[in-house]
Amino acid sequence: MIHLGFVHDFDRFAESGRIERAVVETIGDTLAGSDRPFLLAAGVAGIAPGRVVTEDDPTTAVGPDAPRGGSEALALSYADRGVRSVALRFAASVHGIGDHGFVATLAQIARDRGTSGYIGDGANRWPAVHRSDAARLVALALDAAPAGSVVHAVGEEGVPTRDIAEALGRSLGLPTDSVAPEDAGDAFGWMARFFGLDAPTSSVLTQERYGWTPTGPTLLDDIAAGGYLPGPDGRRRARSRRPGRTRPGRRTSSGRAGPRVVGRRHERHHPRDRDHGLRRRRHPRARGAPRHRVEPHPRQGCAAR
């Protein structure tokens, strides 16, 4: 069981914590005595402000009235009741194309304000991880993490919030400004309580224990690639600038269309396929038949092949 959900309603944060605690209790009681895995999403904010948090640091959120209902401590307590419970502590920013988390919220606040801000001198640090790296780590923890363990899904120990704000400003074409701590609530709303935290976090022990090495783009790389521009244009631009990708139909030195490279996949792509609205559809097939049939978009006039 992997529980990654949480009611992100920060206007009713205490109620969200009570809901989270009830969910964890239900899952834990159901799995008690089964030795089955129970992986819970948790965070690193507030554990040890001002110093680097490690996997050996216990959470300070304990009890039903604690943030998130004290769900991490509650889940780990089920290790004594025959559950292989594991706390997955995710970085403040789990970023990637389509991110709708904290950094996407900061980008929207910057657009609304007309300036990309940071609090005070912006020296406080946010840990970050690319979602592809986080996903690999979750799979490793599901297979190998022992009961009662803590895993840190952190690729970058700490990115200064001023650097985040300046990167967003460059990407969005907005100026950058410093917001006084006493004015942060007016400027950032509920985000102020998180954006003002200094939460550097290490994943050294996690990397050693599970053989995990973060390899995805950094947070600033994703921002620079256009991943936080508004609407689908931002997603398209971010995809086109991903490392390891070439544009469809790019010709080789021989003049022929080269392969389209997407990660480890190589697909032969003809230039005339580009921008003609072609889409692939799965259909029942006999042994040896092509896996896909390429059909034209209904509003396009090109012939099916």
For the chain, domains (ranges, CATH) are 2-240 (3.40.50.720), 260-295 (no CATH)
Residue 49 is classified by DSSP as T
Question: What band does 232 get if pLDDT is binned at 50, 70 and 90?
Answer: low
Model pLDDT for residues 2-21, shown as the tens digit of each residue: 988 776 666 777 778 788 88
Which residues does 116 contact at the CB level (< 8 Å), separation at least 6?
A: 106, 110, 165, 166, 168, 169, 172, 174, 175, 176, 177
Whether 231 shows a pLDDT value over 70: the answer reads: no
- DSSP symbols for 94-128: EESTT--SHHHHHHHHHHHHTSEEEETTS--EEEE
Q: What's the confidence (pLDDT) of residue 279?
A: 44
Q: Which of 156-160, 186-190, 262-266 has the lowest mean pLDDT?
A: 262-266
Strand-pair partners of 268: 259
Nearest to 225 by CA among 171, 262, 158, 174: 171
Model pLDDT for residues 124-166, shown as the tens digit of each residue: 999 999 999 999 999 999 999 999 999 999 999 999 999 999 9
